[in-house]
Amino acid sequence: KEAEIEIVGEDIGDQVETKKQPLIGLSYDPKDDEFIVTLEHHEHIVPKPKEIAVDEDVTGIKAVEVVEQNGTKHIIKMVEPLALPQ
């Protein structure tokens, strides 16, 4: 899947950080208390997440929302790559 990252916060408004890029992985580092999104050409780190919500249906994960301690939301939207004709 590909992913887009959007950040929503009172002090920054609503911003798209990354457009469609192949998703490598999502992980949590308990030692540093960080949620990490790894894309093909970008790594996004959410420090000290207080809440993680997953939106999914029968086709899989649609989005992941990670909320920081200060209330800033990091929304990772999953996007199916366009299928090219064979």
Over residues 16-52, the pLDDT tens digits come to: 888 899 999 999 999 999 999 999 999 999 999 999 9
In a domain, 31, yes or no: yes
Q: Which domain holds residue 66?
A: 2-79
**pLDDT for res 84:** 67
Question: Residues 61, 64, 67, CA angle at the centre, nearest 5°?
Answer: 165
Residue 85 lies inside a defined structural domain of this protein: no
Cα–Cα nearest to 78, from 63, 66, 57:
63
Q: How far apart are CA 79 and CA 61, in angstroms?
A: 10
Q: How confident is the model at residue 15 (pLDDT cuts 50, 70, 90)?
A: confident
> Is residue 84, in this structure, part of any structural domain at all?
no
Query: Has residue 59 been placed in a domain?
Result: yes
Tell me the pLDDT of the chain averaged across its residues: 91
Domain count, the chain: 1
Residue 14: inside a domain: yes
Query: For residue 6, is it within any domain?
Result: yes
- Residues 6 or more apart whose CB falls under 8 angstroms from that of 65 comprise 51, 52, 53, 55, 73, 74, 75, 76
Token look-up 């029968």 returns 58
